Amino acid sequence: MVGPKRRNNWLRKQKKLLNDDSTDWKLYVKSDKKAPVEGDHYIRINSSITVAEDYLPAGQKNDAINKANQKMKEGDKKGTIEALKLAGVSVIENQELIPLQQTRKDVTTALSLMNEGKYYQAGLILKLAQDGIVVDSQSVQESPTHPVQHDAAH
């Protein structure tokens, strides 16, 4: 079990990170997802991508994957996904989001409670912040534009 002093130091660091004015939070805003509190915005705190493949002939697949690699190098996320679809690759993106203003408030309140020696209450407030995490999943899956015909003899 982590002691109150260590937990307090950790929480102070989190508060500093969340309230860092040098961070351009607009870069992390998930604009198509409305936060539960008016004026607040969800920000991405973690993201992962999962891929699954269908069989395609090597040449066709390699061309599409090379195109996807080029698009990724250019920072073109949409173009990358489109190229992967042509290669018979489905993509699932999971993003973990937090409501920024509400999380700032919860961390500040929890830190204040810890400073007063109210560790249990601080833990409950931090649990509220944790419960505010939303996982947003988007799946991009489409059959290749030229389906492959398989020889029944093989």
Domain boundaries, the chain: 4-140
What confidence score (pLDDT) does residue 22 get?
A: 86
What confidence score (pLDDT) does residue 148 get?
A: 39
Residue type (1 letter), 147 = P
**Residues 133 and 96: beta-carbon distance below 8 Å:** yes
What confidence score (pLDDT) does residue 152 get?
A: 40
DSSP 25: G
Residue type (1 letter), 149 = Q
What confidence score (pLDDT) does residue 2 get?
A: 66
Report which secondary-structure segment, H or E, holds 97: strand 89-99
Single out the residue of 134, 132, 96, 122 nearest to residue 12, CA to CA: 122
What confidence score (pLDDT) does residue 109 get?
A: 96
CATH number of 4-140: 1.20.120.1940
What confidence score (pLDDT) does residue 57 get?
A: 67
Which residues, including other chains, have CB under 8 Å from residue 73's CB and lie 6 or more apart? none
Q: Which residues of the chain have pLDDT under 70?
A: 1-2, 55-57, 141-154
User: pTM of whole model > 0.75?
Assistant: no
What confidence score (pLDDT) does residue 78 get?
A: 83
